[in-house]
Amino acid sequence: MKRILMLGTGGTIACKRTENGLKPVITSREILSYVPGSREFCEIATEQLFNIDSTNIQPSHWLAIAAAIEKAYDRYDGFVVTHGTDTMAYTAAALSYLIQNSPKPIVITGSQKPIDMENTDARTNLSDSLRFASCHKAHDVNIVFDGKAIAGTRGKKERTKSYNAFSSINFPNVAIIQDDHVIFYLDDKDRDKKEVKFYHQMNSNVGLLKLIPSMDASLLDYMAEHYDAVIVESFGVGGLPSYEKRDYYRAVARWTGLGKTVIMTTQVTNEGSNMSVYEVGKNIKREFGLLEAYDMTLEAVVTKIMWILGQTREPEKIRLMFYETINRDVLWVSVH
């Protein structure tokens, strides 16, 4: 029987009603008591790391979760992290970079309603997660939610209230959990057998600029004084405005002149970017050597560059690491 460590971090699954709204107060040990049937297929230990709303999650929490898993890694066969849904995709992506090549499954789950409610998705999600973490074919970081296993770098919360809150973006689901069975859609028989590697540093000095029509490029100038990297969420397949004053051209020139990182991505959820299609993207990318997210999710881009900048500040190393596929995060580069 597999030994699973369940780590509690808070979120809706751990909430109770208060006069000020839902607040996470239920411990991981209490949460586990709502799924007694899980002990029929695995042995489960619990540890409470913190108990916070996931809106308050920061990189320091990601590092704490990774450190707890590293400390216990040799003693357990799999790990389940209970977490709030609002930043779950960011945490799953961050852990994918902080814990790489794990032959043991690391599952992130939560719920849209607290586990002590009569009508809730929490008990099913938790039971499914423990079952997936107990499966001999499971590995690496995955979100398990609403009967689906989603690669940690591909998950995105697309619904605020419905039980099917998460989707796998630009990539198929890894597996489904149905009638107490885990059915894998992806065959990993040729997966490289590498040793698990843990990382211990992230640089959170990363900013995000979401473009809207007529936005002043001086915002990029301000950000250049405060951040080591900026992610620009552009329109469509990607590009920067070429208004009369060419302010975006000048702002990007300043960023690259300072040796800082500029990453272009798209506001469109599905199908990714391709800056080579239009003049507004092709010319500026070619001249300044901007990084491009392609089919990556925003959550993966944010956490990946935080992880990379925690390891190096050398532009060429940053480029090589950014385009290396980790836990299925980017496929476009490998086929073009």
Tens of pLDDT along 205-239?
999 999 999 898 889 989 999 999 999 999 999 98
- Bridge partner residues of 230 (DSSP): 207, 262
Q: Rounded CA gap, 20 and 232, in Å?
A: 36
Q: Is 265 considered catalytic here?
A: no
Assess contact for 155 and 143: CB atoms under 8 A.
yes
pTM: 0.96
2-198 CATH, one of 3.40.50.1170, 3.40.190.10, 1.10.10.10, 3.40.50.720: 3.40.50.1170
Question: Mean pLDDT throughout 33-45?
Answer: 97
Question: Mean pLDDT throughout 270-289?
Answer: 88
pLDDT of 177: 98
34-38, 187-191, 310-314: the lowest-pLDDT one? 187-191
Q: Rounded CA gap, 31 and 28, in Å?
A: 5
What is the token pair recorded at 139? 């590995």
Question: Mean pLDDT throughout 287-315?
Answer: 96
Sign of CA dihedral 180, 185, 187, 188: negative
DSSP string computed for 247-307: HHHHHHHHHHHTT-EEEEEES-SSS---TTSSHHHHHHHHHHT-EE-TT--HHHHHHHHHH
Identical fold, 2-198 and 206-335: yes
206-335 CATH, one of 3.40.50.620, 3.40.50.300, 3.40.50.40, 3.40.50.2000: 3.40.50.40
pLDDT of 287: 85
List the chain domain ranges: 2-198, 206-335
Helix residue ranges per DSSP H, 73-154? 88-98, 122-133
Question: Mean pLDDT throughout 322-331?
Answer: 96
Q: In 3D, which of 14, 35, 45 has the Cα closest to residue 180? A: 35
Q: Which of 9, 12, 109, 153 is catalytic?
A: 12
pLDDT of 333: 67
pLDDT of 187: 72
